[in-house]
C-alpha cells in the first residue's frame, strides 16, 4: 500500500544479501540504500534520514557473537534516538533477540528469512517510523505552544509605559469573573485585549465569541445573539444557535456596544440580569454562563448623561474599565510595531527581510495616526508591497503625505523631518493656547525637551 512505502537503509557485508533484499523491497515500492561497510553509518545518518534500518549483527571481524551489531545499534541510537532499527543475523537465538530489543532494536530477523515475513516486518517498521515522526512533531508543536502561551502578552506588541499599564490591568482582572468594558479609539486593539483576558482566565478552554454589535442589522439582532427555531420567520428554515449560546462557559466579546439602539440595549440587559436566553420563535428559556467583555470607541459615559445609553446596562458591563491608549500616546512602540509588521508582510509576500531606516521611524513617530495601530499596520503593508529595496526609508512612506492632516486641517507639504517637527510643535502650542505643559503632553515629550526643540527651531 502507498502509505507503507519508505526509505530503507540496509547495512550488511554480504553482497548477495544486499542485492536480494534490495530487489525484493524495490518491487514493492520502497526506496532502498545499501551499504556493505558499517563504518559509513555515521556519514549516512548525517546526510539523510530513513524510515527503517536493516542492520547485520555480524561483520568480518566478528562472525558469530553479534557484538558488532550491538555496537552499531548503540551508535545509531545515539545519533537518532527515534531510529527504527531491525537487526538481522544468521546466528540468532531467543536470548539474542531479547537482548536486541532491550538495546533499542525494533525487531529481529534471522537468516535465511521468508520474504513475506521480511516484507511484513519492513511495512510495520515504516508505519512505526511515520507514527514516531508524527508524535515528535506533535511534541514540538506542544512545546512551542506552551512557550508561546508562557510569553506574556505575545498578542500585543509594545513596551511603552501606557501599554504596560494596560498589561497590569489585564493581569489583575483576567482570572476574575468581572465584566470588562474596554474603551479606546478605532484601531487600538480592543479585541486583542479581550482575547488576552480570555486566554488568561479560567474560561480559556471554552469558546471566545466575538460579536460586532455595530454590524448586526436590527432585524437580525435577536436571531444572531439569541438564536432562532425553525419557522420563526420566513427564512428560518432550520434551528440556529445564537452567539451567546455558542459562548456558553466561555467569553462573549460585544464589540461596539455603544451602537445599540434602546430596544437592543433592553434585551441585552435582560440577558445579563437573568442569565438566560429565549430563542426567537420559542417560549422556552435556556440558562447561559458567559463572561461579558464589551468595547466601544464612543464616549459612553457622556451617552448615559444624554440618555443615549442605559445607565443600568453600563453598570452591568463596566465592573472594570480598561482604557486603551491611542498610538500617538505610545510613540515609543512605533519602532517595535513597525519591525513586527515589516517581518510579517515580508514573509507574506515572500520578500527578503527589510531593514527599517531611522528616518522612516522618525517620520512615523511624527504622524498623528488617527487610525492607530491598524493604520500603521496597513501603512507598513503598503510600503513592503511597493518597495523594491532591502530597506524601508522615509520615502517609502511618502504616501502618508496625501492623508496627513494637522488638527487645523492643513496638509504637511514637506517630508523634511525638521520642518515636520517644527510645524507639529507650532500646532501643539496653537491648540493649547501657548500652554507649555499641555503642549508637551500632547507631543508626548517633557517640558524640558519641548524647550530644547523651541530653541532648536527658533520658535
pLDDT in tens, the chain (459 residues): 444 688 999 998 888 888 988 999 888 889 999 999 989 998 888 777 789 999 888 776 556 666 788 888 888 888 888 889 998 877 666 676 677 777 888 888 888 888 888 888 888 888 888 888 778 667 655 654 554 444 445 568 898 999 999 999 999 999 999 999 999 999 999 999 999 999 999 999 888 999 998 888 888 898 889 988 888 888 777 888 888 988 999 999 999 999 999 999 999 999 999 999 998 888 888 899 999 999 999 999 999 999 999 999 999 999 999 999 999 999 999 999 999 999 999 999 999 889 999 999 999 998 889 889 999 999 999 999 999 888 999 999 988 865 554 434 444 455 566 677 777 887 777 777 777 877 877 777 777 777 777 877 778
Every domain of the chain with CATH number 3.40.50.300 lies at 167-325
Q: On the CB side of 124, how many CA atoms lie within 13 Å of its CA?
A: 11
Please report the beta strands in 251-402, taking only residues with DSSP state E, as ranges in sequence order: 251-255, 276-278, 285-287, 291-296, 320-323, 355-356, 391-392
CA distance 382 to 392: 11
d(CA 415, CA 413): 7
Element of type H or E holding 34? strand 31-35
User: What's the sign of the alpha-carbon dihedral 134, 140, 144, 145?
Assistant: positive
User: What value, to the nearest 5°, has the Cα angle with vertex 92 and ends 86 and 95?
Assistant: 95
Q: How distant is the alpha carbon of residue 412 from its chain centre?
A: 37
Q: Which three cell numbers stand for residue 103?
A: 538495546
The residues, any chain, with a CB within 8 Å of residue 90's CB and separated by 6 or more, are 58, 110, 111, 112
Q: Where in the chain is the domain with CATH 1.10.8.60?
A: 326-404
Domain 411-459, CATH class in plain words = mainly alpha
Length of the chain: 459
Residue 273 per-residue DSSP state: H
Q: Which residue has cell 505610545?
A: 330
Residue 3, pLDDT score: 47
Task: For residue 126, give the nearest of 263, 259, 30, 205 by alpha carbon.
Answer: 30
Quick one: fold of 2-142?
Rossmann fold (3.40.50)
Cell of residue 253, nine digits: 466579546
Measured CA to CA, the distance from residue 19 to residue 21 in angstroms comes to: 6
Which architecture characterizes domain 167-325 according to CATH? Answer: 3-Layer(aba) Sandwich (3.40)
Domain boundaries for CATH 3.40.50.2300 within the chain: 2-142
Output the nine-digit C-alpha cell for 93.
Answer: 537465538
Instruction: Using DSSP, state whether 282 is helix, strand or coil.
Output: coil
The class level of CATH for 326-404 reads: mainly alpha
Q: Which three cell numbers stand for residue 169?
A: 490591568
The closest alpha carbon to 38, from 87, 81, 82, belongs to 87
> From residue 279, how far is each of 227, 239, 247 by CA, in Å?
5, 9, 15
Helix axis angle, 447-457 to 417-431, nearest 10°: 120
Amino acid at each position: 500500500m502507498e502509505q507503507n512505502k519508505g526509505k530503507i537503509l540496509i547495512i550488511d557485508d554480504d553482497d548477495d544479501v544486499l542485492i536480494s533484499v534490495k530487489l525484493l523491497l524495490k518491487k514493492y515500492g520502497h526506496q532502498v540504500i545499501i551499504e556493505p561497510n558499517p563504518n559509513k553509518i555515521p556519514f549516512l545518518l548525517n546526510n539523510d534520514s530513513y524510515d527503517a534500518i536493516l542492520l547485520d549483527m555480524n561483520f568480518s571481524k566478528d562472525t558469530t557473537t553479534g557484538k558488532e551489531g550491538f555496537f552499531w545499534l548503540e551508535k545509531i541510537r545515539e545519533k537518532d534516538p527515534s531510529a527504527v532499527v531491525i537487526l538481522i543475523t544468521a546466528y540468532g537465538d531467543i536470548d539474542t533477540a531479547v537482548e536486541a530489543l532491550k538495546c533499542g532494536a525494533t525487531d529481529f530477523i534471522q537468516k535465511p528469512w521468508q520474504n513475506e515475513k521480511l516484507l511484513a516486518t519492513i511495512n510495520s517498521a515504516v508505519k512505526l517510523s511515520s507514527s514516531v515522526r508524527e508524535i515528535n512533531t506533535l511534541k514540538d508543536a506542544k512545546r512551542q505552544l506552551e512557550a508561546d502561551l508562557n510569553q506574556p502578552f505575545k498578542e500585543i506588541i509594545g513596551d511603552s509605559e501606557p501599554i504596560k499599564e494596560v498589561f497590569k490591568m489585564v493581569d489583575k482582572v483576567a482570572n476574575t469573573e468581572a465584566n470588562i468594558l474596554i474603551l479606546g479609539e478605532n484601531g487600538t486593539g480592543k479585541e486583542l485585549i479581550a482575547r488576552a483576558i480570555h486566554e488568561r482566565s479560567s474560561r480559556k478552554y471554552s469558546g471566545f465569541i466575538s460579536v460586532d454589535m455595530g454590524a448586526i442589522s436590527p432585524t437580525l439582532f435577536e436571531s444572531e445573539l439569541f438564536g432562532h427555531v425553525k419557522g420563526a420567520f420566513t427564512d428560518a428554515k432550520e434551528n440556529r444557535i445564537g452567539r451567546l449560546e455558542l459562548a456558553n462557559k466561555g467569553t462573549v466579546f460585544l464589540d461596539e456596544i455603544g451602537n445599540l439602539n434602546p430596544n437592543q440595549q433592553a434585551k441585552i440587559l435582560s440577558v445579563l440580569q437573568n442569565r438566560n436566553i429565549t430563542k426567537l420563535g420559542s417560549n422556552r428559556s435556556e440558562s447561559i454562563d458567559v463572561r461579558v467583555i464589551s468595547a466601544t470607541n464612543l464616549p459612553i459615559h457622556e451617552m448615559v448623561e444624554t440618555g443615549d445609553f442605559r445607565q443600568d446596562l453600563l453598570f452591568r458591563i463596566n465592573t472594570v474599565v480598561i482604557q486603551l491608549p491611542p498610538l500617538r500616546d505610545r510613540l515609543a512602540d512605533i519602532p517595535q510595531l513597525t519591525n513586527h509588521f515589516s517581518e510579517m508582510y515580508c514573509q507574506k509576500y515572500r520578500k527578503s527581510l527589510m531593514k527599517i531606516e531611522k528616518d522612516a521611524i522618525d517620520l512615523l513617530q511624527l504622524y498623528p495616526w488617527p487610525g492607530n495601530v491598524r493604520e500603521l499596520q496597513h501603512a507598513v503593508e503598503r510600503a513592503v508591497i511597493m518597495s523594491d529595496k532591502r530597506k524601508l526609508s522615509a520615502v517609502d512612506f511618502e504616501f502618508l503625505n496625501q492623508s496627513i492632516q494637522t488638527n487645523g486641517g492643513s496638509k504637511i507639504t514637506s517630508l523634511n523631518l525638521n520642518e515636520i517637527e517644527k510645524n507639529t510643535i507650532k500646532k501643539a502650542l496653537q491648540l493649547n493656547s501657548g500652554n507649555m505643559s499641555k503642549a508637551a503632553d500632547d507631543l508626548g515629550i517633557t517640558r524640558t525637551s519641548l524647550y530644547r526643540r523651541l530653541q532648536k527651531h527658533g520658535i
